[in-house]
Structure 1
């Protein structure tokens, strides 16, 4: 098996893991699943020889987990500098700057926003990744980011409609049911 097909296989695995990410309304589960997807797609990009995209995806994975613990502006700035520095260090074509820009935008969104605004900014970031992945010839990457664009777009509309009806789509529902009264 060539490295190319191994890379494409890893990309398809990432696609299968990432396909349901944006359905999650619980932000913790959303971020954990997004982190797993990002790590796997990062491996895919490194195997494809796309260092800026691979480093951006790996930073996405770490950054997304860290946003579960802190929303510090300093931590956000550190990830933005790391993403820009690593992305610019080995880029060879202007198209390779798209995932770097997308990662910087999504970093800002994950640290500064919640709920619908966060998903709207991430939707814009996804557009950068879609264009890059098609240019790179990444089958799994193009499928997943294209799916993210559609699924997140549809969920943004659905959540926005819920909010218009006075329903908070991001309210965490408790899994614990009240115990029935003793007889």
Structure 2
């Protein structure tokens, strides 16, 4: 099961690499939905149930947030990210996954690209710490590449904005 889990999360890595290179928020969220679904299965295969549950919720969240940004949905997903995992918390490091999921939920709700990406990076750091504790090499690579890809995407936004300002002047 370990090998299959690593293959699934490798595909998720490739999706994450692509996700933050998309310029439209909806495309980013769709790629993240598929990636987190694969990562949920990965954690399930590793018997990391809090991670599996949180990633399954994240996959649904990204899909829903493509179309709707209601505050009720935000509150609902925040409750889904905190109550069940905290009730079934097995080890303390699973708190990193809970914190990461809460940040990523807020991030998916933010429409401003730069703030959206910064909050997503903070949530990713929490998941990176969690994945180190779980001991999944490819999940560590997943979060690391997610961070790097996000930083590159931020750089592209910055360059695009700077170029647009120069054209106006």
TM-score calculated relative to the size of structure 2: 0.90
Alignment of 1:2-17 (within 5 A): 3-17=1-15
**Contact 1:11/1:138, CA 8 A, preserved across alignment:** no
Tell me the SS of whatever aligns to 1:68: helix
Distance 1:148 1:112 in 2: 18
Deviation of 1:57 after TM superposition, in Å, equals 0.7
Question: In 2, Cα distance between the equivalents of 1:104 and 1:38?
Answer: 14
Shift of 1:56: 0.9
* Cα distance in 2, alignment partners of residues 147 and 23 from structure 1: 12
* RMSD between superposed Cα atoms in Å: 1.5
Map of 2:151 onto structure 1: 153
> Do residues 71 (structure 1) and 69 (structure 2) align?
yes
Question: Which digits, 9 at most, give the CA deviation of each residue in 1:144-173, with x for residues without a partner?
Answer: 110111121232133123323436xxxxxx
1 CA distance for matches of 2:5 and 2:87? 22
Superposed CA deviations along residues 88-113 of structure 1, whole A, max 9, x for unmatched, are 12222221111111111111121133
Q: Which runs of 5+ in 1 are unaligned?
A: 168-183
* Corresponding residue of 2:24: 26
Using the alignment, how far apart are the partners of 2:155 and 2:122 within structure 1? 14
Higher gyration radius (CA): 1
In 2, the alpha carbon distance for the partners of 1:154 and 1:135 equals 27
Alpha-carbon separation, structure 2, partners of 1:54 and 1:4: 14
3-state secondary structure, aligned to 1:17: helix
**Partner of 1:62 in structure 2?**
60
Superposition deviation, residue 25 in structure 1: 0.7
User: Number of aligned pairs?
Assistant: 165
2:45 to 36, 43, 47: 47
Q: Looking at secondary structure, tell me which structure has more helix per residue.
A: 2
Q: Does 1:134 align with 2:132?
A: yes
